[in-house]
Chain A
Amino acid sequence: MSNTENRRPETGAFFQRDRDWHPPAFAPGYKTSVLRSPQKALLSLDNTISEITGPVFGHSILGELDNDLIYNFAKAGESAIGERIIVHGRVLDERGRAVPGALLEFWQANAGGRYRHKKESYLAALDPNFGGCGRTITDEDGRYCFRTIRPGAYPWPNGVNDWRPAHIHFSIFGHGFAQRLITQMYFEGDPMIWKCPIVGTIPDRRAIEQLIAPLDWASTIPMDARAYKFDIVLRGRRSTFFENRPEGN
């Protein structure tokens, strides 16, 4: 673990989470949430050092193909089957500041909607050259990118005929443990998005739209891969106006 930025680290408390923007714990349209949601109120706590700090990972943990899902599980000379895409974007905080050194981990199904997981029994075939995991760390400007194949939709046992839209799962570390976030990215124009009970756990349509990555024609690589741009916003830090902090506001 190392500090990847030259500027002075921020030490303020994080903005409160807007829990009307995030999905509630209990969202019965997504059946598994019924028994896995706390029923009592959360205990609110302004951040202490325990929440303000968090692990930061150096680029040294990364292997050469960690951000290339087309090749990181493939046999030599082979590659994953599917629509080749680049996913890229920036990690920002709520104040619009870049978050450098943020570890992003992502996972997804293959082009047919099949996950490489022992509990997965969907009859679509595994791709012998696709594992489905990747990771990267944002640069000084908060930028990241990875290459993959566009995942397929897949059915799941919730309602009788529920299908997940094509999606990529993201896990993001900022600089504080209170910023820890897991979310899902969806693809522009996918009609499945608006039928999905998991998407539907989010009460505000604008919050859902923030999870939909637009096709980024400008970044598409001709004769190779299309691009989707997905920016991620983590909690911002409060300026510590009146806490006795030498670095000031």
Chain B
Amino acid sequence: MVQDLGYLKETASQTAGPYVHIGLTPNFGGIAGVYERDLGSSMVNDETLGERITVTGRVIDGAGAPLKDAVIEIWQADATGLYNSPSEMRGAADPNFTGWGRCPTSAEDGTFAFETIKPGRIPFKDGRLMAPHISVWVVARGINIGLHTRLYFPDEGTANAEDPLLQRIEHRHRAETLVAGGQAPNYVFDIHLQGEKETVFLDI
């Protein structure tokens, strides 16, 4: 026998279920008066630095239908490429930008929408710069463990071409699933859970 390494096991994930709004966006879900506003519903204020953008999109299942009960969270750097996080060691991020947003998909047409700013570039582990990107996390009924992906920008062709993550996608046409459509300042990012247009999801 040898010593036990002594690590604990991570708590297993379970689906967020169809009533995720009760917990994460109760005001959206029709439960008023418990929280003043839904957390993550606003990422910017009048003082936020950087180029204002909107990101809208849908999450689409394997039969082509948009999910009307998903919740999307995004996490991104500020306009200079710094994160508003205690683990950010490179400097202080814009105090007027949270970097984190949360939005449920609409019960009518399944769209989500974020008002944010375009993020700056961030170094990869080896110092190469990554292209501007937004980290995206999707939960919903039927999704047993939250899905991570990234949104890149269609007007950053040069930066995208040298991005270490995009370069690692073996089937080159699949890299396009991470590049938003639309044009500045209104980007569109549809997330395909399954099938021919399946979005690249990450094990991070």
Question: A residues near B, CB below 8 A?
Answer: 1, 3, 5, 9-11, 14-19, 21-25, 27, 30, 32-40, 42-57, 61, 63, 65-66, 72-73, 92-96, 105-108, 115-120, 131-135, 169, 171, 175-178, 180-184, 198-199, 201-202, 204, 206-208, 210-211, 232-236
Contact = CB atoms under 8 A, between A and B. Distances in A.
A107 B19 contact: yes
A18 B143 contact: no
B9 A18 contact: yes
B163 to A, nearest CB: 11
B3 to A, nearest CB: 15
A208 B16 contact: no
A35 B193 contact: yes
B18 A119 contact: yes
Given A36-B62, A177-B135, A51 B26 contact: no
Decide if the interface of chain B is mainly helix, strand, loop or mixed.
loop
Nearest to B164: A48
B198 A39 contact: yes
Interface residues of B, number: 82
B50 interface: no
B8 interface: yes
Interface of B: 6-24, 26, 29-31, 33-36, 39, 61-63, 65, 67, 69, 73, 75, 77, 83-90, 98-100, 107, 122-125, 130, 133, 135, 137, 139-148, 150, 165, 168-169, 174, 193-195, 198-204
A62 to B, nearest CB: 9
Contacts of A66: 34-35
A243 B195 CA distance: 39
A65 B35 CA distance: 10
Contact of B30 (A95, A117, A134, A175): A117
A42 B137 CA distance: 14
